[in-house]
Amino acid sequence: MADIDKIMSAVQFPGVNSAWIGLKCGISPKWQWSLADRDFYGENEAEFRNWPEGHPKVGTDCATMTAGGQWHDLSCKETFTFICYDEKSSTEPYLLVKDEKTWRDAQRYCREKHTDLASVRNQRENDQIAAVERPGGGPVWIGLFRDAWEWSDGSSSSFRHWDLTEPNNALHACAEIWPSGLWNDEGCYKLRNFICYEAPRVKRTEIVRVKLQVASHVDVDDPDVQAAFLQQIGQRLRSKGLPANAKLTWRKQSDGKVFHKEKNGKKKKRDEL
């Protein structure tokens, strides 16, 4: 929701009914976890499943867990109690919420109050969640859902903010945002305003110390000589993969100089990336 709020505060819609966002329907639906952080899952843990025979079915796209630990796929619009995951709790990370909600409403609640709907990475966690006491022993929502929508930047975010009846047209494969902040599926061929995103630039500074051997007549304190050295070093580094937009500068010592003679007669310098 924070991103939606940022978009709504940054983008005005005078006379505009909608604008494209970077969500597009892919070729086929796939099961994925609400908690999309790739670092949360070890090798193959995001693919752990505990479906019984006959599941998952076609047309039901959200997962529940029975008291016995098996998973059933049901309509996301049905209401059940649900299991939240709280990363801040090392002793009781799985919490039963007794209020019955749709899957999306349960997801929203878990994200606002805890971390997310529960992911199940292995059989041990499956048994741990199944053991959470629940009134009546009915099914509970977990964080697994299925859809075909993908972000154009390749991110794995599971956030969706569809209007209540959307998406509702299999021929509409692109998503637009309305002035209300809700999303609608629409035909990609239609002309719309659009919202771009520019990732914040991350400035990284790395200091590297190098040694030079130069002829005795070369004045290494001459700015032109220093610039020539820097150009040669830059060419060498870029041939080994340094980004073309990386900026190279000399780092001066406390005395204002770049180079200092070593005791053995050589000179040294520092180079800042």
Report the pLDDT value the prediction gives residue 1, as an integer from 0 to 100.
Answer: 58
Report the pLDDT value the prediction gives residue 60, as an integer from 0 to 100.
Answer: 93
Cβ–Cβ < 8 Å for 35, 143: yes
Cβ–Cβ < 8 Å for 208, 270: yes
Report the pLDDT value the prediction gives residue 272, as an integer from 0 to 100.
Answer: 40
For 88-112, give the DSSP string. Answer: T-SS--EEEEEEEE-HHHHHHHHHH
This prediction's pTM: 0.65
Tokens, residue 189: 């061929």
Cβ–Cβ < 8 Å for 159, 21: no
pLDDT in tens, the chain (273 residues): 567 777 776 666 677 888 999 999 988 899 999 998 888 999 999 999 999 999 999 889 999 999 999 999 999 999 999 999 999 988 889 999 999 999 999 999 999 999 999 999 999 999 999 999 887 889 999 999 999 899 998 887 888 888 888 889 989 999 999 988 899 999 999 999 898 888 777 667 777 777 878 888 888 888 888 888 888 888 888 887 777 777 888 888 777 788 877 766 555 444 443
Cα–Cα distance list, 24 to 154, 179, 198, 269 (Å): 11, 19, 19, 52
The CA-CA-CA angle for residues 146, 65, 52, to 5°, reads 80
Report the pLDDT value the prediction gives residue 270, as an integer from 0 to 100.
Answer: 47
Report the pLDDT value the prediction gives residue 248, as an integer from 0 to 100.
Answer: 85
Report the pLDDT value the prediction gives residue 264, as an integer from 0 to 100.
Answer: 60
